[in-house]
Structure 1
Amino acid sequence: MRIALLTDAWKPQVNGVVTALSALVDELKSAGHDVLVIHPGLFVTVPCPTYNEIRLAAAPLPGVARRLQRFVPDAVHIATEGSVGLAGWLYCRLRRWRFTTSFHTRFPEYINARWPMVPVGLGYRVLNVFHRRSVRTMVSTPPLADYLEDRGFSRLALWRRGVDTRLFRPVEPVQLDLPGPVFMYFGRVAPEKNIEAFLELDLPGSKLVVGDGPARTDLEQRYPDTYFAGMRLGEDLVRHICAADCMVFPSRTDTLGLVLMEAMACGVPVAAYPVTGPKQVVQNYVTGVLDNDLRAAALAAVELEGAAGLAYARANGWAASAAEFASQLAPARRPQLRFDPPVLEV
């Protein structure tokens, strides 16, 4: 199958959406599909407001149209609601092509966190206009589907995410010379991740933050006793994860929390709030602990063994996730009905 994937989140960005889409494309290609990724790096870009390191495509519609015309996809999937996604949406609407979408990020809450004068409800009404034109909108978890249904979304389908167990696995940890136990957050260091809720906790041992983002400089200045390791990738990231005794995930807005699955794949138990994303991937008091008291969750999780998390990760690989994604796609063009004139009997 020839699949066109349009996304505003792509390399060199580092976040859960890029990780998921990159793994998806690799698995689809391994399964024999021909995949065209249309992303901001193909166009002139401008900085995203409040996220200068994220680049948005400027006026990408002509370039998107040319690429889709040349590729002639069997299926079109629009992964994000940014300028590339909107250009694909407009092109498909003009050509009367069918397409699918996916919901990755609760942007209304993120925008409201930065600009409280923008109501969350308004944001979801805007997103609903975007997604309701698709054949179906793929979501990562049943709780997220319920959340969106309550906000007027329809035709939701499940596309569960996987974890790369070839990369994320128990390895020799990096030597950081930190007093134990080591409580770690890794991921984007941004306001919507609620990292202060972790850094404010009264915990024994040490706190470790792995990652980068617009909030890092401020947090480093305000929490000098926390070790900030900065951006880490590949094996270096895995070695840092394995240096932790517990992964603490303070976000209340993530739709999945792929980093939780990656930590469990490394044998590290997790602590989080009992909200949409973590509730789907954490088996309470087995692979991690969910509690509205994040300190209590962290202190309980650090006592857990990592074997259960390893087993969960190994049962949730990307091959099965990609197969589920492909099964939810829709033909871009409806089959042409052939009209045969009736045979006249003489």
Structure 2
Amino acid sequence: MPKIVIVTDAWHPQVNGVVRSIETTNRELAAMGIDVAMITPQPFPSIPMPTYPEIRLSLARYGRVARMIEREKPDYLHIATEGPLGLMARRWCLKHGMPFSTSYHTRFPEYVRSRIPVPLSWLYAYVRWFHNRGGACMVATESLKRELAGRGLNNLCLWSRGIDTALFHPRPRAENPFGLARPIFMTVGRVAIEKNLPAFLDLDLPGSKVVVGDGPARAELEARYPGVLFTGVKFGEDLAQAYAEADVFVFPSITDTFGNTILEALASGVPVAAYPVTGPVDIVPPGGKAGVLDEDLRKACIASLDASRDEARAVAETYSWQAATRQFLDNVMEAKAQARRRRLSLRQPTRPADA
């Protein structure tokens, strides 16, 4: 049975799209007969990330990470994040000639710059340095692939996402869900600066606004928007039920690389209102049947009230975790095959120039 070691700095108890994507992919890989070993922050001491204490940075020594990798004897190695553990795993792979793949889950440069005044060009230089030595850098959408290629990243390949359509599905809706008047405009996710939530919360909309999730900006936003319901984090059936009560799902982020919550909303039969940026433009078809994308977010929200809940569900049904995991596995295998081809080409004798 082939073994994949996945190294990630994002793991439980974090609640985000990176963790959910890796966790679901692991279950699908196991169903395919692939052995997966994880190296995560859990066994290491850690410190809270400055300005974002919910995310903790591992205080890992290279020797310990190296021993963990060597003990697993992986056939393939995937580095999911650019943090401390990812750096250690990258160092080990380069030292031992082990091919590896990476993934670009979040706009690391933009997220860092939103908290620390570092030039974006420096941060993208780090991203190129980190990812370009791998055999495959996985991205979730075609638009992100084009964007990163323009910034000098290479070996880019697609790794889409899936959705659990059995959990997230249309349900009967209450007349006044959460004790609020309809229409319900809802967003779900981390309550953090990079999610651009004020762009939604400042809108003059009919009915009510609901924010499902938690994060470092929640206390400030709750005080600033007393008319908005902040429910905190929801999981499983509670989360699925909450989605299904919404009339419109609002996705105000302009920095996400995909938007797993968009798929969850669509699967629940909820039309999506968003900006026409990477993520939404790759998921929500043009034409307004499953949702509306517009530079004017209020216009998108109002127009989405007339979108089709059946069409929203139909879009979600085209996304499968089994297909996404097959993409992931193909990319991991191709990274190793590409490295093998590169080594063979370097061994070929140089042909002398024609006399």
TM range (shorter): over 0.9
Aligned partner of residue 160 in structure 2, secondary structure: coil
Matches within 5 A, 1:20-31: 20-31=21-32
Task: Report the 3-state secondary structure (helix = DSSP H, G, I; strand = E; otherwise coil) of the residue aligned with 1:42.
Answer: coil
Amino acid at match of 2:47: V
Residue 137 of structure 2 corresponds to which residue in structure 1? 137
Q: Conserved in 1, the CA contact under 8 Å of 2:135 and 2:336?
A: no
**CA distance in structure 2 between the partners assigned to 1:277 and 1:51 by the alignment:** 24
Aligned-residue offset at 1:278: 0.7
What are the superposed Cα offsets for residues 235-273 of structure 1, whole Å, 9 maximum, x if unpaired? 111111111100011100001011001100000000000
Aligned counterparts of 1:166 and 1:74: Cα–Cα separation in 2: 33
* 1:101/1:221 CA distance change after superposition, 3 Å: same
* Ranges in structure 1 where 5+ consecutive residues have no aligned partner: 338-346
Alpha-carbon deviations, 1:181-200, whole Å to 9, x = none?
00001100000100000000
Contact 2:200-2:297 at 8 Å conserved across structures: yes
1:165 CA displacement: 1.6
Query: What is aligned with 1:321?
Result: 324
Distance 1:65 1:43 in 2: 14
Q: Distance in 1 between matches of 2:253 and 2:205?
A: 18
Q: Aligned partners of 2:61 and 2:37: how far apart in 1?
A: 16
Instruction: State the 1:170 CA deviation.
Output: 2.0
Q: CA deviation at 1:171?
A: 3.1
For 2:245 and 2:203, how far apart are their aligned partners in 1?
Answer: 20
TM-score normalized by the length of structure 1: 0.94
- CA gap of 1:169–1:114, structure 2 versus 1, over 3 A, is same
* Aligned 8 A contact 1:171 1:266 in 2: yes
Question: What do the CA deviations read for 1:40-93 (whole angstroms, capped 9, x no partner)?
Answer: 012112111111111221024223211211111110000100011111101111
CA distance in 1, matches of 2:161, 2:310: 20
SS in structure 1 at match of 2:161: coil
8 Å Cα contact 2:26/2:36 also seen in 1: yes
Q: CA deviation at 1:26?
A: 0.7
Whether 2:317 is the aligned partner of 1:331: answer: no
CA shift, 1:173, in A, is 5.2
- Of 254-263 and 169-178, deviating more is 169-178
- Counterpart residue identity of residue 140, structure 1: A
| Alpha-carbon distance between aligned partners in 2 of 1:242 and 1:173, rounded to the nearest angstrom | 7
**Corresponding residue pairs, total:** 336
Q: Which moved more, 1:243-252 or 1:305-314?
A: 305-314
Q: Deviations over 1:184-241 (max 9, x none)?
A: 0110000010000000000000000000000000000000000111111111111111
TM-score by length of 2: 0.91
Does the C-alpha gap of structure 1 residues 266 and 93 become closer, same or farther in structure 2, counting only changes over 3 Å?
same
The 1-side partners of 2:303 and 2:25 are apart by 34
Q: Which amino acid aligns with 1:161?
A: R
- Return the offset for 1:94: 1.0
Q: Unaligned regions of 5+ residues in structure 2, if any?
A: 345-355
Instruction: Tell me which residue corresponds to 2:185.
Output: 183
Which moves more between the two structures, 17-26 or 198-207? 17-26
Q: Which residue is equivalent to 2:262?
A: 260
Question: What is residue 280 of structure 2 aligned with on the other side?
Answer: 278
Equivalent residue number for residue 156 of structure 1:
156
User: What is the DSSP-based 3-state SS (H/G/I as helix, E as strand, rest coil) of the residue aligned with 1:185?
Assistant: strand
- Structure 1: distance between partners of 2:64 and 2:325: 27
Tell me how large the CA RMSD over aligned residues is.
Answer: 1.6
Distance 1:240 1:150 in 2: 39
Identity of matched residues, %:
48
